[in-house]
Amino acid sequence: MEYFKFHIDEDNTKRLFCVYRDLSKGKNAKRLVKSYPLDIIGEQEPRLLEMVDGDITDVYYEEFNNEVKASEVKWFLGNIDPIDEESITWIKQFIKCACVNEDFDHLVAPPSVDQQVEDFIKEFFEEDFDVDGDKPLEQKDFLAEFFAELEEDSK
């Protein structure tokens, strides 16, 4: 017994939403929700972009306890078609990879503190560093330099 929800909103938010819940665990079953920018997740999983290729604006699938509640592909002009069985199988597998295995969390993870500091230094001190990355950043001991300057000034 499982709950699946999948929505690609290419028209308005340009995001992918996934929800998974293992209903066999009872009412305490955790609801796992993931959301990704469509362009970023599409680089990793091109099939997502193929699903909304051309005049298709939305893909929506929802299944509760092996009963399909919604299965639709929305077109730009308002036509709605059902999702084919092969795509449904793929969607359910993708939801488990995204929500349970967390295979795509790295795509939306915030940068590390080290990366933030390095980006800050590159942004404000460009002329002091090799922006193209041809040579590694030099680590300096600013405290040692500061105390050395103080010592020189006191002489």
Can you give the pLDDT at residue 8?
95
Can you give the pLDDT at residue 43?
93
CA angle 6, 42, 122 (to 5 degrees): 125
Can you give the pLDDT at residue 139?
67
What is d(CA 42, CA 54) in angstroms, rounded to the nearest whole number?
A: 15
What is d(CA 18, CA 98) in angstroms, rounded to the nearest whole number?
A: 8
Can you give the pLDDT at residue 130?
55
Q: Which residues contact 21 (CB under 8 A, 6 or more apart)?
A: 2, 3, 29, 30, 31, 32
Query: What residues does each domain of the chain span?
Result: 2-107, 113-154
66 to 2, 6, 82, 109, 114: CA distances (angstroms): 7, 15, 17, 32, 46
CA angle 46, 47, 52 (to 5 degrees): 105
Above pLDDT 90, what percent of the chain? 52
Give the tens place of pLDDT for each residue, 48-92. 999 999 899 999 999 998 888 999 999 988 889 999 999 999 999
Choice among 1-15, 92-106, 131-145 with the minimum mean pLDDT? 131-145
What is d(CA 114, CA 129) in angstroms, rounded to the nearest whole number?
A: 16
